[in-house]
Every structure is written in C-alpha cells, then in structure tokens.
Amino acid sequence: MAAVCFLFPAALCLLSGALTFPLNQENKRSTACGYQSCHPTNANMLNVHLVPHTHDDVGWLKTVDQYFYGARNDIQHAGVQYILDSVVDQLLKNPDRRFIYVETAFFYRWWKQQSSSMQETVKQLVNEGRLEFVNGGWCMSDEATTHYSAVIDQMTMGLRFLNETFGPCGRPRVAWHIDPFGHAREHASMFAQFIILMFILLFFFKSRQTKKKTILVLYCSIVPLSPCCCQRKPWPWLSITTLCPGQRNNTWPTTTPEDWLKAGTTVRYFSST
C-alpha cells in the first residue's frame, strides 16, 4: 500500500478565504448535498468557480504521523489536523463557504479524535454540501507504478468509510487527482465505475499542454465498458496517436458525459495556470 500512497511533491494549499463575499441571502443555507448545494449562477455575468482545497501527501518528506500532527516542521511545514480544525471552524462561520477534501486516511484519523457533537456538526456540513469529499480513496494514488488491485483496495477502504459514516452525501462525485505520477488507462476505467467525473492538474505536462492549448482531453480505458463512442485528442509526443476503440475520425463526440462514463471514459481538465 505504500507504493499506492507515494506522491510527487505538492504544497499544502488552503484557500481559507476564497468564498467570503456575500451572496444571495436566500441561498445561504443549503438543504441538499451534491450539485443542488451549488451557488446559483448568473447567465449575464462571468461565473468564476473557485475550489478551496488542500492536498495532503499521505507520506512524502515526512511520515504519515509527522504530517498529521505537524511534527518536524523543519523538514516541511505541515500539520493536517490543524487544517481540518480550521476548515470546519471557517465553514461554520460563513454558510457561503465550501471546501473539498481528498485524503480519507487523514480524515479518518481526525474523525476518530472528535467528540460526538463535533461529528454531528461535520455530518451537517456534509449533508448541506458545504464540505464535500472528492476522490474518496485512502490516498491520491500513483498511476505510474501501482497495480490496479492495490488501487482498488485503497479506494474501497476510503469509499467504504465515507459511505458508512455519511451515507449518500459522502459519496464523491469527482475523482480529484491533482498530483500523481503518470496516467494509467486502468484509472480511467476504475474512476468511470467508481465516480462520475475526474478533474486533474497534470503536474509534469501542464506547461506543454497549456502551450499547445490542448488542456481538455477525454481519457479512455483499455477496454470500453460499452460500445458507446469514446474520444481523446492524440498526444504524438507521448507516442499516443490513435483514437479510442471504435473511433474512425478525429472529431469530438456529441454524446453526454453519461455516455462517456459508460464507455469507461474519464474527462480530465488540465490547469492552465
């Protein structure tokens, strides 16, 4: 499992003040999780979607314990328990705020240390869609060197805990993979079966894809889950020049994301910043 949890360097990024501006008072208190809890958009304005988040390596420069408790900050300044403490505190101070969390391994440990009243408070935040889990695995797994069985195991551990603890509102809808090595087709298939959409910040190839203006691709599994159409933009520089199985031309599909999912396809959005 250690190989699954190995990640490339990533800074802890906590955007604590991202959504502090006043919004429509009628929408301040959400009564549903998922997309129903999203703030309303305005068709006559530029709608900017901010995603306050934190990425916490489940072991990298420091051990898992050192990351969680904030020890050995001379190596790297990071204390995950304090991130979770401050996130809950800030969410309670402003109903407009939203936050996503990824690494279930750290959240599980933090959760077990909380009082019953705090656990009920967090459940309320989850049920209102103000705290949302993405990916859902025990960690953000490597894609380059791990065997698919290990990835399935760690995803099962995390998703089972979220389901047993939070029910339907704890179910991730996005496979947030912002910092792993490589891009495995097995992950495209697994995420299509586990979760709805996948967003990724491609660490190694981001600058090149941004320059080529090809930061949106459809990512296909080895074998489609159904005959539905499946498409990706060719990447000649990665020696990937063929289209997905069953495709005869280089056009984007006109089908829906639900159709892509049936084909074992994952939509990946690359950061352009």
Task: Say what the pLDDT of residue 227 is.
Answer: 38
**pLDDT score of 216:** 53
Q: Which of the following is catalytic: 85, 142, 179, 259? A: 179
pLDDT for 196 = 52
Distance (Å, rounded) from C-alpha 53 to C-alpha 35?
17
Domains and CATH numbers, the chain: 49-269 (3.20.110.10)
Tokens for 119, please give them: 């656990």
Distances (CA, A) of 31 to 36, 116, 125: 8, 22, 10
Of the candidates 158, 103, 101, 95, which has an alpha carbon nearest to the alpha carbon of residue 124? 95
Can you give the pLDDT at residue 17? 33
Helix or strand (DSSP H, E) at 66: helix 64-69
pLDDT mean for each 10 residues of the chain (273 residues): 32 33 42 81 88 90 95 94 97 94 96 98 96 93 85 92 95 84 76 61 52 58 44 36 42 45 44 34
Three-state secondary structure readout of 210-269: HHHCCCEEEEECCCCCCCCCCCCCCEHHHCECCCCCCCCCCCCCCCCHHHHHHCCEEEEE
Active site residue 179: yes
Within 10 Å of residue 263's Cβ, how many Cβ atoms? 27
Residue 244: the pLDDT is 44
Q: What is the 3-state secondary structure (H, E, C) of 84-135?
A: HHHHHHHHHHCCCCCEEECCHHHHHHHHHCCCHHHHHHHHHHHHCCCEEECC
Question: Which pLDDT value is given to residue 206?
Answer: 55
